[in-house]
């Protein structure tokens, strides 16, 4: 089946940029998503990118997609303490009936 991998943990200082990486195996992915999960809460959709795009920017968030390498990244500029959370990438594949396959999640810790 599809496999989506992320590094487990990232620590940055407040004000720095954070880059969270994700690799996936399904070459038929149509949309790729980034979700944020705070402790004990559900998932908040941050942004998404269509598979024929290379980059998408939304305020402090920049998504880069390298379809050839099946690599997705999320860059958070000027990271704040409120950005501390777990970040999941997810992919939806063509013919998957809108089912999402989630990555393992990256815990982002922002230090003062």
Footprint of other proteins on this chain (CB under 8 A)?
30-31, 35, 40-45, 48, 88, 92, 97-105
- What is the residue-wise DSSP string for 52-100? T-SEEEETTEEEEEETTTTEEEEEESS--GGG-EEEEEEEEETTSTT-E
Q: For other proteins, which is the closer residue by CB, 7 or 14? A: 7
Shortest reach from residue 2's CB to other proteins, in Å? 11
The CA-atom distances, in angstroms, between 111 and each of 12, 34, 55, 102 are 6, 22, 28, 26
Q: For other proteins, which is the closer residue by CB, 65 or 92? A: 92
Shortest reach from residue 63's CB to other proteins, in Å? 16
Strand partners for 88: 35
Q: For other proteins, which is the closer residue by CB, 8 or 112? A: 8
Q: For other proteins, which is the closer residue by CB, 9 or 111? A: 9
**Token output for 11:** 């620590």
Give the span between the Cα atoms of 54 and 111, in whole angstroms.
Answer: 30
Shortest reach from residue 36's CB to other proteins, in Å? 10
Shortest reach from residue 78's CB to other proteins, in Å? 26
């Amino acid at each position: 089946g599809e496999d989506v991998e992320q590094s487990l943990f990232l620590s940055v200082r407040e004000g720095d940029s954070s880059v969270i990486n994700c690799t996936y195996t399904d070459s038929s992915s149509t949309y790729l998503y980034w979700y944020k999960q705070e402790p004990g809460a559900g998932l908040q959709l941050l942004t998404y990118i269509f598979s024929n795009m290379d980059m998408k920017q939304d305020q402090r968030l920049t998504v880069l997609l390298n379809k050839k390498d099946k690599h997705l990244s999320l860059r958070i500029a000027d990271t704040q303490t409120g950005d501390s959370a777990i970040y999941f990438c997810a992919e939806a594949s063509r013919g998957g009936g809108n089912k999402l396959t989630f990555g393992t999640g990256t815990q982002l810790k922002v230090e003062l």
